[in-house]
Amino acid sequence: MPLDFKRCKQLLDAIDLKTLFIECLGWDRYANTLSVAVQGQDFTLVGVAEKRTFAALLCGPDAQGKIPDHALRAAIDREVAKLKHEHIIIYQDATGSEQLWQWVRRGKDQPIKRREFRWRRGQASGLLIERVLPSIAFSLEEEEKLTLPDV
């Protein structure tokens, strides 16, 4: 079944990430919470969903209520990778009006590549909806033979 982009947009705007991942993208429930301390700040990352040990985690804002800056996001990711190697971190500001999705590609003997995609409430479209979500959506037919590298 093709991805319902209109529903995905509504769920992103409503910050209903669990429904987005589980009902629209075909991921599984994941309720773990991770805590990391970075540069004198504590960050709690709440499990949104999981697919074959690949976790989607929601990280709240920094002390100023904003999405952490690039250097702080990199530090958060390094700490999270120690606890949950394969993951997507979705950063959110205090108002819930902006999200930044971060996926870090870690290839053997290759430099780390950070992929980041922004979403602002009310946005009409963008790379997140058009390219990222379809690439992380799974159907029931794929479920039986799906492995972590596939995710």
Band (22; pLDDT cuts 50, 70, 90)? very high
Residue scoring higher pLDDT (113 or 122): 122
Tally Cβ neighbours within 10 Å of residue 14: 12
143 pLDDT exceeds 60? no
CA torsion through residues 38, 62, 98, 32, sign: positive
Closest CA to 120 of 90, 99, 102, 101: 99
Closest CA to 27 of 6, 48, 13, 44: 48
pLDDT in tens, 76-88: 999 999 999 899 9
Residue scoring higher pLDDT (104 or 12): 12
Strand partners, 117: 101
pLDDT in tens, 33-48: 999 999 999 999 999 9
pTM metric for this prediction = 0.88
CA torsion through residues 134, 139, 142, 143, sign: positive
